[in-house]
Structure 1
């Protein structure tokens, strides 16, 4: 038997702090419990179960129409394609660490022939000056709220309003990568519809903050969503039935939509604990959603060994991984969901006291 890994130690922890729990078959079983087996499924994008859910999400987002997609990757590439075709300009702008740029194998370029223009430095969000300073003509600007790869940072609401107005004045479509849109509402103090009103099209995810199986919504006006359905068919997104995804999306949306404030407050509390330890910092220092990044100013192997020891002593698990940033730094992404409320506060505080003492000894 080899040494225990950090992932194994986290799985065995009595009180894991992250997310909603294990992604196993129970996620679907729980969502299906209240359903009669005679309920009809959707068929190729039609049927009461999908149409009702799409209408529900359009209402929540304040848009005319909404379309359910099996994946956000499909939905967002299609949104940008529609806006580029409409303007007959095959260029869009987005952040250098946008999902389309770093996680989709150049799908936007290879499948659609669209050229991305990268805005802003990697370590900050896009601001109005970046947009005004664009030298190339673009069909669409994509903003991600929050900007995941830099710790979930957000522009101020006034900046969003200014960017939206500028884009409308210049005939530039504004698309929202809102995979985690509902998670940022407590910080902004706005409804989803108020934020989405600034954008021409909106994508949201159901497996991140809500913990569903998979699936996404793309929302906008009637003409846009009608065109998105055509592209969805072209991409093979109209599976014969999507009801397992729709049912779980609907169920967990209802279960967790009113808990976003709870997750946000938990993230701020947990970040305070981390920032009180020797050689640890969070990005942002004060979270603006339920997620943030944690940086240890120590080598990866050293931190893995320390965390395993802490988990075994206290039963509290902070993360199942840390990624190497440099020889003397490693990091992970914290994401607060249902599990955090079950962690005993006194024991959590004690665990961080022990962790801080251990780290202080590393520097002596």
Structure 2
């Protein structure tokens, strides 16, 4: 039985939002387009795309925003332009940066910019991590929150110090804000407050929002116009952006409004997990509605437990699981969205107890 078939049989699904079938998604998009009299854009020109770009820019306090077909293209372009403007000085990135971990060395192979690793892999940045770099920097790329370490955030006073450090040295400060909306509850600040002091920000239209794909890059109008030209040069100038924008815009406000509830459910989950030492949580105090859960069983056993609980109890615990840093350990990322929010608390308690029992058996 495939994973997709198993998930469909489960009544208790932990990760993410409820998955819509293509037919469901397209039907919702069609109805939304009818209500709002949407017409296709032509290479980004049109009321729909331009209005959504303006909405995101205003929400984060930037002069301009531009749609990009992927966050990978948006980030590489932003850092390329920033470093070029500063004599091709390198960019500083955290060791767990998406650019290092997931983008297949594109910044090197495509000659975008040079990059330095700063800070320790297992904790978020402090300003001391940047102060320790003796080189002149062209840019600093900061992910908020840091996905690869469980959604951790730099403390607010450290974030303020990082902003001041970059401003004083004329360094372009760029935010990987793929999950910026999720960080608002952890910081207790608006996305606009978090973004203040950054020179550019990338946000995703599909991760927490649930769109089909795409991203927005924000900055000064001149910076955004240069980035848009580089998107065209890299093959990102798709003729119709409307499917991506519609799929995000039709649920954008509702998703943002739900973020505090997702965070509250994350806090509840952490509290309930205190009764199960077999499941270790990182971070212990969540900074967003996501966590890493570490297990004292290897990856193969974790997958076997997942299948067993799905088949016998209708519980789907996680999608992907990774090898842990120690032998015979594993961990998985849990994004808390509509699915976990919909689970009654008693059912959640019971599901965790069943999971912990399976882990104890090993």
Interval of TM-score (by shorter of Structure 1 and Structure 2)? over 0.9
SS at match of 1:143: strand
CA distance in 2, matches of 1:122, 1:235: 31
Contact 2:89–2:136 under 8 Å retained in 1: no
Q: Structure 1 residues 269, 8: CA separation in 2 closer, same or farther (over 3 Å shift)?
A: farther
Tell me by how many angstroms 1:273 deviates: 3.1
CA distance in 1, matches of 2:182, 2:271: 19
TM-score (norm 2): 0.94
SS at match of 1:202: strand
1:1-364 mapped onto 2 (5 Å cutoff): 8-25=5-22, 26-36=24-34, 39-325=38-324, 326-362=326-362
Aligned residues: 359
Contact 1:62–1:192 under 8 Å retained in 2: no
CA distance in 2, matches of 1:110, 1:312: 45
Contact 1:77–1:108 under 8 Å retained in 2: yes
CA distance in 2, matches of 1:99, 1:356: 31
CA distance in 2, matches of 1:304, 1:233: 42
What is the CA deviation profile of residues 200-242 of structure 1, one whole-angstrom value per residue up to 9, with x for unaligned ones?
A: 1000001111111001010011111111111111112111111
Q: What is the CA RMSD across the aligned residues, in angstroms?
A: 1.9
Tell me by how many angstroms 1:161 deviates: 0.7
Tell me by how many angstroms 1:320 deviates: 3.1
Q: Structure 1 residues 360, 36: CA separation in 2 closer, same or farther (over 3 Å shift)?
A: closer
Unaligned runs of 5+ in 1: none
Unaligned runs of 5+ in 2: none
CA distance in 1, matches of 2:104, 2:199: 26
CA distance in 2, matches of 1:118, 1:295: 25
Tell me by how many angstroms 1:82 deviates: 1.2
What is the CA deviation profile of residues 298-318 of structure 1, one whole-angstrom value per residue up to 9, with x for unaligned ones?
A: 123333333333333432221
Tell me by how many angstroms 1:355 deviates: 2.9
What is the CA deviation profile of residues 163-216 of structure 1, one whole-angstrom value per residue up to 9, with x for unaligned ones?
A: 101110111110000000010101111111111112010000011111110010
Q: Structure 1 residues 322, 349: CA separation in 2 closer, same or farther (over 3 Å shift)?
A: same
Tell me by how many angstroms 1:8 deviates: 4.9
Q: Structure 1 residues 255, 31: CA separation in 2 closer, same or farther (over 3 Å shift)?
A: farther
Tell me by how many angstroms 1:40 deviates: 2.3
Runs of 4+ in 1 over 4 A off after TM superposition: 4-8
TM-score (norm 1): 0.93
Tell me by how many angstroms 1:97 deviates: 1.2
SS at match of 1:293: strand
